[in-house]
Amino acid sequence: MSLENFLIVGAIIFSIGLYGALTKRHAVTVLMCIELMFNAVNITAVALSRYVTPSAVLDGSKGAAEAVLTGQVFAIFIITVAAAEIALGLAIVIAIYRTRETVFVPDANQLRK
Partner 1 sequence: MIEESAVWLILFLPLASFAVIALVIRPFLNRYAIAAGYLTIAAVGGSLMLSIWALGSVEGRGEGTELLWVHDWMQIGAFDFNIGIMLDPLTAIMLVVATAVSLMVQIYSTGYMKGDPGYARYYAYMSLFTASMIGLVLASNIVQLFVFWELVGLCSFLLIGFWYHKPAAAAAAKKAFIVTRVGDFGFLLAIMYIFFNRDSFGGLNPLEITDIHSAATLGLLGGSVATWIALGIFAGAMGKSAQFPLHTWLPDAMEGPTPVSALIHAATMVAAGVFLVARFFPVFEASSTAMNTVAIVGGFTALFAASMGLVMNDIKRVLAYSTISQLGFMMLALGVGAYGPGIFHLFTHAFFKALLFMGSGSVNHATGTFDMRYMGGLRKAMPWTYATFLIGSLSLAGLFPLAGFWSKDEVLADAWRHGELVGQVVFWLALAAVFMTSFYIFRAFFMTFEGEFRGGADADPDTEPHGEGVHLEESPPEMVWPLGVLAVGAVLAGFAVNPTTDLGIVPIHWFTEFLGAHAEDFNIVLAAASSLVAAAGIGLAYLMYMSKRVSAEALSLSLGPVHRILSRKYYMDEAYELYGVERGIYGGLARGLDWVDRAVVDRFVTTVGWFAVNIGGALRQAQTGQLQAYGVVISVGIMAILGLYLFFL
Contact 60, 27 (CB under 8 A): no
Q: Which is nearer to partner 1, 34 or 47 (CB)?
A: 34
Q: Which of 80, 69, 5 is nearest to 43 (CA)?
A: 5
92 binds partner 1 per the rule CB under 8 A: no
Taking the complex as a whole, how short is the minimal distance between the CB of residue 20 and partner 1, in angstroms?
10
Q: Which of 103, 100, 84 is nearest to 26 (CA)?
A: 103
Q: Which stretch binds partner 1 (CB under 8 A): 1-9, 15-23, 73-81, 88-96?
A: 15-23
Strand partners, 104: 26
**From CA 74, how far away is CA 80, in angstroms rounded?**
10
What is the DSSP-derived secondary structure letter of residue 26? B
106 binds partner 1 per the rule CB under 8 A: yes
99 binds partner 1 per the rule CB under 8 A: no
Q: 21 to 60, contacts with partner 1 by CB under 8 A?
A: 21-23, 30
Q: Select the residue interacting with partner 1 from 9, 18, 48, 64 (CB under 8 A).
A: 18
Q: Which is nearer to partner 1, 11 or 73 (CB)?
A: 11
H helical segments located in 1-113 = 3-23, 27-51, 55-59, 64-100
Residues that bind partner 1 (CB under 8 A): 18, 21-23, 30, 105-106, 108-113
